[in-house]
Structure 1
Amino acid sequence: MTPPAEPNGQFEAVLTYLRESRGFDFTGYKRTSLARRVRRRMSQVGVEDFGEYIDLLQVDSEEFGALFTTILINVTSFLRDRETWDYLRSDIVPTILAERGPDDPVRIWSAGCASGQEAYSLAMVFADALGAERFRQRVKIYATDVDDEALNQARHAAYSGAELDNLAEDQIRQYFEQHGNKYVFRKDLRRSVIFGRNDLVQDAPISRIDLLACRNTLMYFNAETQAKVLGRFHFALAPRGVLFLGKAEMLLSHSRIFDPVDFKRRFFRKTPGNPTGLGNLVSHAYAHRHSEVGGLDELREHAFSTSPVAQVVVTGEDIVALVNQHAEVVFGLSARDVGRPLRDLEIAYRPVELRSYVEQARVERRALRIKEVEWQRLPGDSAWFEIHVNPLVSNDNGLLGVSIVFHDVSAARKLLDELEHTNRQLESAYEELQSTNEELETTNEELQSTVEELETTNEELQSTNEELETMNEELQSTNDELQTINDTLRERSAELNDVNDFLESIMTSVRYGVIVVDQEMRILVWNRGAEDLWGLRRDEASSEHLLNLDIGLPVADLRTSVRNAMSDASFEEVLLLDAVNRRGRKTKVRVIVSALHGPNGANTEGAILTMEPAGDSG
């Protein structure tokens, strides 16, 4: 038996209590479906009266969560309505990207995102279109909902295999990582999806959105609330931004602010201008009162001249007709410039080439806007302008001239740059915070595991400590042995030094010149006798090639004998050569060339040249 309907006042009291106690405003929802869902929850807890249910809510705080879950009914899935998503992928996304520069950011809003499947579906579509790297650099997806529990689930980005039924196997492999029985969305792409709470009826909308997806959410609101939400969507969308609705949402009564792109699939594009339609009313009122005001010509002249915005007016023949005071100050114009062709003035070329825009406005009979024009008047002093070029058309559609208005937007540009910089910092900080939160959860699990490992390691360290004590004793013994070896090495080194000193004494004491070369004829030994003969110091001759020496000895004549000595261990030859000693006097030198034996006495490692004067040659 159906329970009797409670008075509307009692049901409205439930909605008022929810708004005042928990901040959830359901007064804009359709009453029929809303009351049906509340009654469903009441029947589950055995309450038949709205007043009694308010009493239950006051004493049982957990009942709020169950009620909100029943009211909100978060029904969603990946790529829900496959045909619609295919059209988004093939037509809408390429158009959005083509209308923006290759480095321009793309901002997406998934309103009423529930547990996140729609937001991650949008991420996959745009990642397919841009590639993962460009997606991370350009795309930001803002996913919002009023259900905190659903948002928490969305932030984890973990779904069961059944929840991925709509996705192909290659999509699952490309965008998800399996952890146990859950599939987690890729972390590098997950950072571009930002979740947050937003009540479409009460909270401010996110701005400058290129694609706004709000599917099967508006149908729960009444007509008045729908109009309010759609007005906020119109404000949120960037020029030519796209609105993506669900199948159950027709958007028939709001066609004046949105044009259909594909009505069947529920894609709409934002229309320019004021959605309220007040512009025509103001124009009509102005026309009605126009005839009641006198002295308009003089008033217009003074208003034009003292306008705080720089303005120049040219005739249809491109002759400067009017220049106001602000234009004279900013661009250095004067009354003498009136009557001159525009092309003869510097303003025609700086801060921007104006003539082409003036000609376009004249031919097309439409207003043009030139944005973000920078003018560097002095080094380090830049001004930014937004220039409006408007054709002046008479009542019979004849061209009277063209008005050029220079709006100085330097302050706004600076504020916009600062705002964008701040927004980037905030987005970066939010992403880092979100990433840090996820990393902390992972770190907590790792710490639990680390504690167990540390306990095991502590036992191993105790055992290792005992081994180290034993090793320390062995090292001490080894250290003593090394000390003995070092003492022996020092003794051997001293002996070697004595031998070297002895050999050096022998070579110094020999009165003949002695040169020792290796197999490559590089000089290894050059004694004192050689220095006295040829005036070349040992450090100058050492490591030099014998045949490259520039001394009084004809070294070229020694080449054959030295080569023979290197190849024959028993070779020995005496040569008598004409030479010039270090004093520049000609002399004869007896040179004995013999082999330098190796340690075994059989091999040769070079040659030995012994030289002594044999008397003056002149």
Structure 2
Amino acid sequence: MGSSTASRIPGYAPPANAGPARYRTSNLLVVGGGHVSQESDPRFESLLDFLKESRGFDFTGYKRASLMRRVRRRMAQLEIDDFAEYQDHLEVHPDEFTSLFNNILINVTGFFREPESWQFLAETVLPEVLAAKAPGSPIRIWSAGCASGEEAYTIAMLLAEALGDDQFKDRVKIYATDVDEESLAEARLATYGERQVADVPPELLERYFDRTNGRFSFRKDLRRLVIFGRNDLVQDAPISRVDLLVCRNTLMYFNSETQTRVLSRLHFALSDRGVLFLGRSEMLLRYGDLFIPIDIKRRIFRKLAVPSPSRASVVEPPAPSLPADPDPVGLDRLRDEAFQASPLPTIVLTTTGLVAYANRRAETLLGVSVTDIGRPFRDLELSYRPVELRGYVEQAQVERRIVEVPETEYPRDDTERRHVKIQAIPLVSAESRLLGVALAFRETTAERRLRDDLSDANHRLEVAYEELQTTSEELETTNEELQSSVEELETTNEELQSTNEELETMNEELQSTNEELRNINDEHRERAARLDQANSFLDAVLTSLHAGVLAIDANMVVQAWNRRAEDLWGLRADEAVGEHVLNLDIGLPTAPLRTPLRAVLSGDETGRQSVALDAVNRRGRPIRVRVTSTPLLNVLDGTTGALLVMEAEGDEPGNGG
């Protein structure tokens, strides 16, 4: 990192205040506008419960004013006034869920949105984050509420510029999550229009996007390092050990209570001195014990470690006085032996996540030894395998209630399958001070075996899926790569399906065009046949006339020349048609015809024009020819040409002059 990150990112100008602002704020404050009073409508609350139960979307933590406004807007489009009636409509029309969620989940995002904040992140924050990492160590990024993926790919470009392609591919994993499956599907495609990439600096656009048919696709070799998945910030466990967490313009939709819960989870997700990047509409003015601002104007904060009480205060409260005993047993030893003798494998954690105690059953079943006492729980394999426990521990700490972990299969070296249920139990003092969390494991292998014996084939498939899931969790890194491959295959499959649909549509259009062409060809054949009949009839009429007949158009170009004209002048029809009538090389003087022909063609003369001329026929004999000009009239266009009839005076039919 010899130079600043910004120097390697084209399109950025240096900021006016290059140095990061570091200062604390008061501990009294609001997040994203603070608490908003919420009107309670039982029918609306019933609708929210229905959405949660039927589709798994929990909107109960959202601000009621904006949430009700968006739901009412969708109801108004359907001309429904009552929430209960709209719930009935959803039950009858399942497709309506998609339209409703599109109205509620406003996915507004973009590349380099609020560029000044991204510039500061690239110039100041990322170099510090990367400098704090050991060489070659993994870098974990979480884009929460990623919508259609622009912010996740923005982070990818900044890190690729800072690290180079090789280190980026070896070290970086970017997790991008959202509750909207449609937006996640769009993000996985990683294909955007010109308007969507308008804010990407030209050099970055050239380096990280491939252009095809007016669309821009993010580079596939870097795309596989961005892992997309569904995650509800309110309900689901957070991703852990994150170095940079981008959650922009998401908190502002939650009420104050939900914001507190979500921020506690984001605090847990970050690694020590991890960075939280919020949107311009969000502020942390009530959480000075969790985050410290790096630059409050740009909404960039650093995680603060939660102060930990002494170990003795967590697990060793003052012992009550006991009456004298002739053979006294130390109370600490008695308490320790009771804990060790517990039939349930139990591990006690401090509020800062250190392992305080583990009983014998925990050592036997879970492989936790005395050497693990005092170690961070996150360093134990048990913390993330066979199930991610840190999220449940954090939930028990924040909500101060017992959190049940769903039954899971615990891998053993022997061939026997074992199952356990886990409880995260908050340990609270009499003064309501949180002392720590106990993790209690109860083996349910026998119960599970009984259920398996009674289950049907579908249940056996579910068990096989759980086994596969356990194996995937044991190979976390491999699983992430497989997820990327699956996402690429899904994207390719979607592209192939889309291409297939386009080909089918084109085939239908070609068939339709082919039918139209057949109809046109049939019409042309019919017209050609009629035209041939008309031409044959006209040719027969002209041939039957005793006089020589020729037809000219408005430009005096010969259009028809009958057999008698051939006999009279010795000029065939194919030699005469297409020639100017006054330029014909025949024994008839054409100059005297100029005036009457122009009169006929101009429309000044509606009747016939007749001229008697001395001529020489094809045998060289002098003859007297009367040329009569008649206008050719069209109902719409008026005079379109003329008809010339040439009769040799004193000539007999078939005489030929």
Give TM-score, length-normalised by structure 2.
0.48
- Work out whether 1:34 is the aligned partner of 2:34: no
Q: What does residue 150 of structure 1 align with?
A: 183
Structure 1 Cα separation of the partners of residues 231 and 305 of structure 2: 25
Q: What does residue 215 of structure 2 align with?
A: 182
Structure 2 Cα separation of the partners of residues 290 and 20 of structure 1: 49
- Work out whether 1:215 is the aligned partner of 2:268: no
Question: 2:167 is matched by which residue type in structure 1?
Answer: R
Change (3 A) 1:116 1:15: same
Question: Which stretches in structure 2 are left out of the alignment for 5+ residues?
Answer: 1-37, 341-353, 356-368, 387-470, 505-657
8 Å contact 1:158–1:182 — kept in the other structure? Answer: yes
8 Å contact 2:385–2:474 — kept in the other structure? Answer: no
Change (3 A) 1:441 1:253: same
Change (3 A) 1:184 1:148: same
Structure 2 Cα separation of the partners of residues 187 and 406 of structure 1: 37
Q: What does residue 269 of structure 1 align with?
A: 302
Q: Which has the higher contact order (CA 8 A, sep 6+)?
A: 2
- Work out whether 1:424 is the aligned partner of 2:487: no
Structure 1 Cα separation of the partners of residues 319 and 168 of structure 2: 55
Deviations 1:482-516 (CA, angstroms, capped at 9, x unpaired): xxxxxxxxxxxxxxxxxxxxxxxxxxxxxxxxxxx
Change (3 A) 1:128 1:50: same
Q: CA deviation at 1:157?
A: 0.7
Question: 2:237 is matched by which residue type in structure 1?
Answer: A
Once the two structures are overlaid, the 10-residue window that deviates more, 191-200 or 228-237, is 228-237
3-state SS in 1 of match to 2:137? coil
3-state SS in 1 of match to 2:176? strand
Q: What does residue 84 of structure 1 align with?
A: 117
Structure 2 Cα separation of the partners of residues 30 and 250 of structure 1: 16
Identity across matched positions, percent: 46
Question: 1:158 is matched by which residue type in structure 2?
Answer: T
Once the two structures are overlaid, the 10-residue window that deviates more, 249-258 or 160-169, is 249-258
3-state SS in 1 of match to 2:210? strand
Summarize the alignment of residues 314-333 of structure 1 with structure 2, pairs less than 5 Å apart: none
Question: 1:109 is matched by which residue type in structure 2?
Answer: W
Q: Which has the larger radius of gyration?
A: 1
Structure 2 Cα separation of the partners of residues 254 and 220 of structure 1: 18
Q: CA deviation at 1:107?
A: 0.8
Q: What does residue 193 of structure 2 align with?
A: 160
Question: 1:212 is matched by which residue type in structure 2?
Answer: L
Structure 1 Cα separation of the partners of residues 107 and 132 of structure 2: 34
3-state SS in 1 of match to 2:306? coil
8 Å contact 1:384–1:410 — kept in the other structure? Answer: no
3-state SS in 2 of match to 1:163? coil
Change (3 A) 1:8 1:283: same
Q: CA deviation at 1:281?
A: 12
Summarize the alignment of residues 124-523 of structure 1 with structure 2, pairs less than 5 Å apart: 124-273=157-306, 279=309, 283=313, 299=330, 422-441=475-494
Q: CA deviation at 1:299?
A: 4.3
Q: What does residue 55 of structure 2 align with?
A: 22
8 Å contact 2:244–2:277 — kept in the other structure? Answer: yes
Q: What does residue 557 of structure 1 align with?
A: none
Deviations 1:492-548 (CA, angstroms, capped at 9, x unpaired): xxxxxxxxxxxxxxxxxxxxxxxxxxxxxxxxxxxxxxxxxxxxxxxxxxxxxxxxx
Name the Cα RMSD after superposition. Answer: 4.3
Change (3 A) 1:187 1:6: same
Q: CA deviation at 1:92?
A: 1.4
Question: 1:435 is matched by which residue type in structure 2?
Answer: E
Deviations 1:246-282 (CA, angstroms, capped at 9, x unpaired): 11111222221222222222222222236xx8x4898
Question: 2:128 is matched by which residue type in structure 1?
Answer: T
Deviations 1:104-142 (CA, angstroms, capped at 9, x unpaired): 111111110001111111111111111112111111111
3-state SS in 2 of match to 1:273? coil
8 Å contact 1:384–1:413 — kept in the other structure? Answer: no
Question: Which stretches in structure 1 are left out of the alignment for 5+ residues?
Answer: 310-367, 370-382, 389-404, 452-618
Q: CA deviation at 1:148?
A: 0.9
Question: 1:55 is matched by which residue type in structure 2?
Answer: D
Q: CA deviation at 1:302?
A: 7.3
8 Å contact 1:385–1:410 — kept in the other structure? Answer: no
Q: What does residue 31 of structure 2 align with?
A: none
Counting matched residue pairs gives 356
Q: CA deviation at 1:232?
A: 1.4
Q: What does residue 66 of structure 1 align with?
A: 99
Q: What does residue 547 of structure 1 align with?
A: none
Change (3 A) 1:449 1:284: closer
Q: What does residue 468 of structure 1 align with?
A: none
8 Å contact 1:385–1:406 — kept in the other structure? Answer: no
Which structure carries more helix by proportion?
1
Q: CA deviation at 1:173?
A: 0.5
Q: CA deviation at 1:225?
A: 1.0
